[in-house]
Structure 1
Amino acid sequence: MTEPERAAGESSTGDDARRPSAASRKTAFGDPDASVLEQMGGVRGLVFSSIPVLTFVPVNAFWGLTAAIWGALGVAVAMLAWSLARRDNPQPAISGFIGVAICVFIAWRTGDAKGYFLYGIITQAVYGSAFALSAIAGWPLVGVIWGFLDGKGMAWRRIPPARRWYTVATGFWAALFAIRAVLQYILYLNDEVNWLGAARIGMGWPLALVAFLGTVWAVRRAMAHEKDAESAVAEQSPGDAARGD
């Protein structure tokens, strides 16, 4: 092997070593091989978010608030212990346990089963407001989050079509959180504990799935505009360099 060939091979190897692998760059938006369920947290995320509610509501109906509180806490602890014993990623179980603990504390302090759902209603309202305000301010949160994950930062803000599509994606989540908050708050005001439980589950994953699919659709269009802008810059650069010479 000649010296130039050896140098080229070493340069190529060094670039490949520095360049992140395709697997490491896969994300929820960029990995077409992953199922939607996997991208949204998998079956475990669905189970961990549903079982405490499915325990609290019927136990409250038959045995009262105190039993429902202990029942929801019990299943949250059991799921956390099961996750740790299997050495799975404990994050869904830990997050679920903290959420259940806050919910049952509010129910205990208010002395009313519907208090279990108040924390969720408040968080949905806060999230919805944050997403909506970010879109109005020209800093749509989906674009901010995706720019961080994709490693490109806020470059998309200089590309108006990309910014519009990130705003569309952010609007999906703002609408999702607003629908959840408003409808569940109406049920809360009317003391509909059973329907609150049904709404928590029914408006959880199904609506999130719709918002997620809409986000993938919008983000991929934003990324296409970003790629077009990068190509346009790359095409102009040689000509600019020639004129400078």
Structure 2
Amino acid sequence: MTEHGHHSPRTINTDEPGKTSPTRPKQTPLEQMGGTTGLVYMGLPIVAFVLANSAFGLTYAICIAVGVAVAISVLRLIRKEPLQPALSGLFGVAVASFVAWKTGSAKGFFLTGIWSNIALAAIFLISLLVRRPLAGVVWGALNGSGTAWLQDKPSRRAYDIATLTLTGVFTARAAVWQWLYDDDRTGWLAVARILMGYPLLALAFLTVLWAGRRSAKRLAALAEQQPGPNV
């Protein structure tokens, strides 16, 4: 302490045990998926499936798509990159390949994507109808803010917009993919699956981020307006 009673600034050494380290910034959706490299990895099994199906037939296409997904997982493990996106992709490719094998059609590879987006669109829409917008529920669970926003109409309205945006994304995916599926356009299905996959979802997530920040500011302002405890 100096002669004027002020503390001199200290530099926190985060390398020493017991010291408090600065809070790390949260990863963006793109970073959580492995960045642009992760997006490329996501599309590779789909492209491999379509090309192999055209050249060698369905059975070889299934084997090659699953093999590419496994190779990507192994590569990410060796390079110590996030494994969760790769494992999720491997699981998705395995299920899609199983459906294609059971239906005996290459376009069956894309059926699970259509089904899952129909289900997601319905779930998000129902959450709007019951006044519990799912975007807010999930966001509150992920960042620990809970459901206090439900008591604030502007916050709930913002999450309504975010939930409606996600509902639109899932609905658009299902509609476009179903149309291409019915027209037997397997190649275009692959293109639409890649372009309307994570890139479109990441754009929609921006509305969730906007709603979350808006709600956080609203709740902080309301908390400041509350009278403090009597001393």
Q: What's the TM-score once normalised by structure 1's chain length? A: 0.80
1:227 and 2:220 equivalent?
yes
Determine if contact 1:124/1:177 at 8 Å carries over to the other structure. yes
**Structure 2 counterpart of 1:181, from 174, 192, 200:** 174
Identity %: 42
**Structure 2 counterpart of 1:52, from 20, 32, 45:** 45
> What are the superposed Cα offsets for residues 155-177 of structure 1, whole Å, 9 maximum, x if unpaired?
11111111111111111111111
Give the whole-Å Cα distance in 2 for the aligned partners of 1:186 and 1:60. 20
Structure 2 unpaired stretches of 5+? 6-19
Residue correspondences, number: 214
Q: Which residue of 2 aligns with 1:115?
A: 108
Determine if contact 1:60/1:67 at 8 Å carries over to the other structure. yes
Q: What's the TM-score once normalised by structure 2's chain length? A: 0.84
Determine if contact 1:117/1:196 at 8 Å carries over to the other structure. yes
1:205 and 2:198 equivalent?
yes
Determine if contact 1:106/1:115 at 8 Å carries over to the other structure. yes
**Residue aligned with 2:228, SS:** helix
**Residue aligned with 1:184, SS:** helix
1:70 and 2:69 equivalent?
no
1:150 and 2:149 equivalent?
no
- Runs of 4+ in structure 1 off by over 3 angstroms are none
Q: Which residue of 2 aligns with 1:124?
A: 117
Give the whole-Å Cα distance in 2 for the aligned partners of 1:39 and 1:223. 22
Shift of 1:210: 2.2
| Amino acid corresponding to residue 47 of structure 1 in structure 2 | V
Q: Which residue of 2 aligns with 1:162?
A: 155
Determine if contact 1:159/1:229 at 8 Å carries over to the other structure. no
Give the whole-Å Cα distance in 2 for the aligned partners of 1:168 and 1:63. 46
Determine if contact 2:173/2:196 at 8 Å carries over to the other structure. yes
> What are the superposed Cα offsets for residues 1-35 of structure 1, whole Å, 9 maximum, x if unpaired?
9xxx9xxxxxxxxxxxxxx96525x435xxxxx6x
Structure 1 unpaired stretches of 5+? 6-19, 29-33
Determine if contact 1:57/1:194 at 8 Å carries over to the other structure. yes
**Residue aligned with 2:26, SS:** coil
Structure with greater proportional helix content: 1
1:23 and 2:16 equivalent?
no
Q: Which residue of 2 aligns with 1:237?
A: 228
